[in-house]
Amino acid sequence: MKKVLITGGTRGLGKEIAKIFAKNGYELYLNYVSNDDEAFKTKDSLVNEYHSKVNLLKGDISKKEVVDNFKIDGLDVLVCNAGIDNVCEITDKTYESFKRVIEVNLIANFLLTQKFGLEMEKIGHGTIIYISSDNIIDKNDYVTLEYDVAKYGLLMLAKDYAKYFKKVKIHTIAPGWMDTSMNDIPDEVKCEFSFVSTSEVAKLVLKQVDLMDSGNVEVIR
Ligand SMILES: NC(=O)c1ccc[n+]([C@@H]2O[C@H](COP(=O)([O-])OP(=O)(O)OC[C@H]3O[C@@H](n4cnc5c(N)ncnc54)[C@H](OP(=O)(O)O)[C@@H]3O)[C@@H](O)[C@H]2O)c1
């Protein structure tokens, strides 16, 4: 049975990604940081609906000791999905708020890739997907300064690891706005936004993994 680790895999986009991998017979390793209720609910629904093997990995992935403690033998797919934002005026941004977003959205994915990517390279196969954002294409704004820096950084992380890896495939996906708790907008304002569906993005993640596994996509190095 193939194994997938999805960070932030118990809510929002991560939960949809978990569903699609469950449907496709993967053993799931779902990371989250604090929301136990959602994590247990997600695990129960995946076990009931797809009879999946689900392992919950609670922990803050921006901490090296947490990532070092994740033990998964022969991981096939790593989806670096967990993320946070901090939307505010430039004048309200602080050293702490900037650092925190960089830690969770960028440094955590370096830690995970150093651990699991290098293990995958050693065993000779594996696929890694980073979830970035379309802010890095054309939706950036100063209110999301540190988020945009981190999400652009993921692109370079993927490109540089791709130069190193011989066996591991790595790719970045940059979705548009999705209707998750990250966008905590009042319902009356929501109708003014056009959201991308989380299940469509999740399908794209699996499709990209399958394409890279079958060698049908050119990996940019
Ligand atoms: N929503 C959008 O419009 C949008 C658009 C483009 C890209 N994205 C990206 O898509 C990804 C998923 O976003 P989402 O909207 O699904 O977010 P979400 O609903 O807020 O869920 C975030 C998930 O990440 C986990 N998490 C947060 N900090 C963590 C940490 N330090 N260590 C481990 N897990 C942590 C949360 O765990 P808990 O449940 O325990 O809190 C939760 O499971 C993010 O990378 C985001 O930047 C989102």
Could you list the mean pLDDT of each consecutive 10-residue stretch along the chain, which spans 221 residues? 98 98 98 98 98 98 98 97 97 98 98 98 97 94 97 97 96 95 84 90 96 73 49
Q: How far is CA 89 from CA 49, 98, 198, in A?
A: 43, 12, 28
* Residue located nearest, by CA, to atom 20 of ligand 1: 182
Cα(43) to centroid(ligand 1), Å? 17
Which residues pair with residue 78 across a beta bridge? 5, 128
- pTM, whole model, 2 decimals? 0.97
* Residue located nearest, by CA, to atom 45 of ligand 1: 83
CATH of domain 3-213: 3.40.50.720
* Pocket residue to mutate for ligand 1, from 42, 182, 193, most atoms within 8 A of Cβ: 182
Helix residue ranges, H only, the chain:
12-23, 36-50, 64-69, 95-102, 108-112, 118-123, 145-164, 187-190, 198-213
Cα(209) to centroid(ligand 1), Å? 20
